[in-house]
Amino acid sequence: TLQDITDKDGVSRILVKTGEDVNDTAISEKIEEDYENFTTLTSEEISSIADDVLGILDTATLAVSALAIIVGAIGIINTMVMAVYERTKEIGVLKSVGWKSRKILLMILGETLILTTLSGIIGSIFGILIPEVGFRLLEVNDLSLGYSPKTFILAFGITIIVGIIGGLYPAYKASKLAPTEALRYE
């Protein structure tokens, strides 16, 4: 084996580079035939394994992102429902002085939009800082993170959409409050 030839322990793999007109599969089969303890991988097999690993990572990333979106939506709904609940009397006063349901709905949706916009900005800042700090702490110098404007635009768009969807229910509930009921609310 290579360990015997080189007089070194711990050799676990070698890389064989073939010419362009050489059949990698034939070379691989010949090595495995001549050296029964050897396992070989061709560049096509390595590429296939890498594609599989990247596919798994993409799926895991998508699952984590979906979970984060769901948690974010629940957080927005909860926050805005509590905001409406705590301001029921105020909403009643606004309705009693002539505010239309549509204006109340737009007010709550506007507040939701402000909340989600700020959340998106803060999330983007942390999304850049945390990996950078982590790489520095782990002294990872040979990898660099790439940030594309497309990614931030997509993430920000999703944040706004989730915010609007999450704010619809509380805004609708606020717009449908009867002024007399809201004013009696304690």
Question: Which tens digit of pLDDT belongs to each residue from 96-138?
Answer: 999 999 999 999 999 999 999 998 899 888 988 988 888 888 8
Give per-residue pLDDT as tens, 85-104: 999 999 999 999 999 999 99
How far is the C-alpha of 46 from the C-alpha of 61, rounded, in Å?
22
Question: What is the average pLDDT score of the chain?
Answer: 85
Query: What is the per-residue pLDDT for 1?
Result: 54
Going from the C-alpha of 51 to that of each of 55, 60, 179, the distances in angstroms are: 6, 14, 60
How much is the pTM?
A: 0.67
**Which two three-digit tokens encode residue 123?**
């999330």
How far is the C-alpha of 63 from the C-alpha of 111, rounded, in Å?
29
**Which two three-digit tokens encode residue 85?**
């609940």
**Contact status, residue 105 vs residue 175, Cβ threshold 8 Å:** yes
**Which two three-digit tokens encode residue 132?**
């950078």
